[in-house]
Amino acid sequence: RHRQRYVEKDGKCNVQHGNVRETYRYLTDIFTTLVDLQWRFSLLVFILAYAVTWLFFGLIWWFIAYCRGDLEHLEDHAWTPCVNNLNGFVSAFLFSIETETTIGYGHRVITDKCPEGIVLLLLQAILGSMVNAFMVGCMFVKISQPNKRAETLVFSSHAVVSLRDDRLCLMFRVGDLRDSHIVEASIRAKLIKSKQTQEGEFIPLDQTDLSVGFETGDDRLFLVSPLIISHEIDERSPFWDVSRHQLEKDDFEIVVILEGMVEATGMTCQARSSYLADEVLWGHRFAPLLTLEEGFYEVDYGGFHQTVPVPTPACSARQLVAAAARRDAHLYWSIPSRLDQQ
């Protein structure tokens, strides 16, 4: 049965927000709203922000020239206009661009006989600086976002369940394709599964933490070469009572989250992936990738997703621990009886 993913394999969260009535909240944080826009809309806002202010102030410069009568004395050399060589709306628009972008005055220049023009010049210079700071800041943050860095952080296509040191473990593999490393990398895993409480409340997409070494510090990674992340299935694990047969019929999703700082920029980066129940292979182990060459270690990413079958009990971890306890107890009582026979 096809199951809708909560998080796609590429890390995109498959959740859409609908019926959001308090849309004014997006405007209270307009900077983040602009940064979160798609690129085509961000470029449109960037262009409109400058074009609108240039047109607005160009219209005011033309209106000042019209009200003072500068347009009626274009050929009168004894007349001192507000702006020299401003003879229409197009030239007023060009003067507005020169003022706001501080390109520098050449043919058109303001005179000292126009106090209203001096005030407008100050206002446009201040507002232009604010527009520049805001829009350039938005574009800089958007360009420098570390989202693309996550494209070179890879997760194995499948998770596996097999024995490690006589304990059942759920494992997946992570790797970094770049030579520049992720600093302070850490890994988390969550089980997404609907459940019903004892009181009858149905909780869709309930989230449960899967321990991947938080208590021991193993969740903090030195991600120079691909690593196998292991979740030991013990009595605290939600897979404690899950056998191979139950796993094939179960319906859940495991979301894994890798976080760290980009070494080149110092910005925080996050990569995500997920595994459905049919993407967890029972009785498999990841194939080795690392080989020792002349003076260095080489990683063969061609086998990054490759797994090999290994002998693994089909029972649950609880049954496996109980069987081991019975075996140990049998050995404990059989040794004295053998000594008595001798």
Tokens of 293: 């060459």
The Cα diameter of the chain in Å comes to 133
Distance spanning both ends of the chain, measured CA to CA: 61
Tokens of 257: 């989250």
Question: How high is the pLDDT of residue 329?
Answer: 67
Question: How high is the pLDDT of residue 333?
Answer: 54
* Cβ contact 220:186 at 8 Å: yes
Q: Cα dist. 55→7, 100, 135, 147 in Å?
A: 45, 11, 17, 36
Question: How high is the pLDDT of residue 2?
Answer: 63
DSSP 245-260: HHHHH---EEEEEEEE
Phi, psi of 61 (to 5 degrees): -60, -40
Tokens of 249: 């019929």
| Full set of structural domains in the chain with CATH | 23-144 (1.10.287.70), 148-330 (2.60.40.1400)
Question: How high is the pLDDT of residue 339?
Answer: 41
Question: How high is the pLDDT of residue 50?
Answer: 92
Q: Round to whole Å and give the CA distance between 181 and 175.
A: 11
Contacts of 160 (CB under 8 A, 6+ apart): 170, 171, 172, 280, 281, 282, 284, 285, 286, 307
Contacts of 34 (CB under 8 A, 6+ apart): 42, 45, 138
Q: Round to whole Å and give the CA distance between 208 and 6.
A: 14
- What is the dihedral angle through the alpha carbons of 209, 212, 214, 218, rounded to the nearest 10 degrees? -170
Residues of the chain with pLDDT under 70: 1-2, 104-105, 328-342
Tokens of 131: 């527009």
Question: How high is the pLDDT of residue 21?
Answer: 72
pTM metric for this prediction: 0.75
Question: How high is the pLDDT of residue 93?
Answer: 92
Token pair 């890798």 in the structure block, residue: 258
Q: Round to whole Å and give the CA distance between 316 and 15.
A: 33
